[in-house]
Amino acid sequence: MAVRIMTDDSADAARPETDYLHVRTCKSPDDDTVTLATIQRYIDKGASIDTCGTAWKIKTLVANQPMSPDEAIGFATRYAERKQIPLVVTDKTSSSCADSARRRRRTGRLQELARPVRTGC
């Protein structure tokens, strides 16, 4: 199975995939020379009655492990091939881990790649 690799910016919000991996890398707050990687699997569980939107199951495969961006993408690609996951989404750039967490909290999003809300509930 061919796995597509896309960056956050090039990922289309209306993509049809209901199962994908997201690779985030950031510099360690303790040591700027160390890059930490987090790899999560997002699975669309269908429409949620309470929110009239998409419900996601998020499974963290790797959390803040020392790994270069290339190693993290390689790991995610091999995992995706083995598990038949069609898409791997990666960060555009590495930033500080504290900055990344702060940015996600400030925007109030659980995930940076929000899919459009389904209508007709």
* Residue 118 placed within a domain: no
pTM for this entry: 0.72
> Phi/psi at 107 (nearest 5 deg)?
-80, -15
Q: Which residues, listed in sequence order, are joined to residue 62 by a DSSP beta bridge?
A: 39
pLDDT digit string (tens) for 68-101? 999 999 999 999 999 999 999 998 665 667 665 5
In which residue are the tokens 């429409």 written? 47
> What is the per-residue pLDDT across 40-60, written as a single tens digit (0 to 9) for each?
999 988 766 666 666 778 999
1-14 residue pLDDT tens: 789 998 876 655 54
Q: Is residue 56 part of a domain?
A: yes
Residue 97 lies in a domain: yes
Angle at 58 between CA 51 and CA 74, to 5 degrees: 145
Instruction: Report the number of distinct structural domains present in the chain.
Output: 1
